[in-house]
Structure 1
């Protein structure tokens, strides 16, 4: 089950490129998502839109999904690209039609929404062969950055959860503080 969300009053911390790109580069995220220029994708737990802005110029539509309206307010003040749609929702109850998304990505937020309900919902909204890229804090990390270690999942735990929900994990990499998974909806 997922844990608490990031405190929206500290949203400025999410805009520090030197810290954000330390754990996931723009190129790596775009590679993991593998979206075509005509794709419709969703950033799950988009927060301030930091990583949404990395992906949006390379796809047709990007839904910035966040459970906190305050994060969307921050993003509006910063400036939302024309092809980004703000969606206030939890991942377990996405307001999309079946097979509506060609891809979805989560950067440092999987631990916040991890649940059977959320993974079932992702399987519903992703097209067959839709890609899901998850970069998150690893349970094997030190806990010096990110959420407490006890609130994290390992790459192996996340792989098992995804496979239990019908995803095929195409790539899994455990790192010192994070992990990266690429899964395909079946």
Structure 2
């Protein structure tokens, strides 16, 4: 689908903790990632690093992947944790070797990059038994927040798409406005 990317001019909205945690909390994200401190992880569509900052203290290293240099500039101004490396890239062409990542996650950005090519690329860079966590706006929502309904996916579609590229679904749930899917790459 990949309709559009978030407007970097509105990036300050990405730092609104009360609003962001309403849709996926730090605790829920960390539970889904199931990290122990030794992992290399990528935040796909990292923006200003709101969730990257939550994950960074819990892992060895994090790549903040975003297509927009302006988002990285704002993240640098905010201050980067020492173990975060910013990577300007589209998800369909990640600059990582095969099996580089222990996990990857996407918070409210899946609808911006979702395609067979992007998912195959994620499966290429995540190691066998590595995790992919996707939290995004649900097509089953009411559309009061987030992108228009026609730009969203429903959880069933995401589950099918992840299975098609080799992920076994460990958990998935649909909520009022969002869904959460946790996949583990088949060995």
Match of 1:141 in 2: 141
> C-alpha root-mean-square deviation of aligned residues, in Å?
0.5
Match of 1:43 in 2: 43
Q: Which digits, 9 at most, give the CA deviation of each residue in 1:75-133, with x for residues without a partner?
A: 00000000000000011100000000000000000000000010000110000000000
Q: Which digits, 9 at most, give the CA deviation of each residue in 1:130-179, with x for residues without a partner?
A: 00000000000000000000000000000011111111111010001000
Structure 2 counterparts to residues 1-186 of structure 1, below 5 A: 1-186=1-186
Superposed displacement of residue 36, structure 1 = 2.0
Q: Give, in whole Å, the separation in 2 of the partners of 1:53 and 1:163.
A: 29
SS at match of 2:131: strand
Superposed displacement of residue 2, structure 1 = 1.4
- Following TM superposition, the consecutive aligned residue runs of length 4 or more in structure 1 with deviations greater than 3 angstroms are none
For structure 1, the 5+ residue unaligned runs are none
Q: Which digits, 9 at most, give the CA deviation of each residue in 1:53-81, with x for residues without a partner?
A: 00000000000000000000000000000
SS at match of 2:169: strand
TM-score when scaled to structure 2? Answer: 0.99
SS at match of 1:51: helix
Q: Give, in whole Å, the separation in 2 of the partners of 1:120 and 1:24.
A: 25
Q: Which digits, 9 at most, give the CA deviation of each residue in 1:8-62, with x for residues without a partner?
A: 0000010000100011110000000112201000000000000000000000000
Contact 1:35 1:102 in 2 (8 A): no
Q: Give, in whole Å, the separation in 1 of the partners of 2:123 and 2:78.
A: 32
TM-score when scaled to structure 1? Answer: 0.99
Query: Would you say how many aligned residue pairs link Structure 1 and Structure 2?
Result: 186
Contact 1:140 1:176 in 2 (8 A): yes
Contact 1:133 1:182 in 2 (8 A): yes
Q: Give, in whole Å, the separation in 2 of the partners of 1:3 and 1:85.
A: 26
Q: Give, in whole Å, the separation in 2 of the partners of 1:36 and 1:123.
A: 21
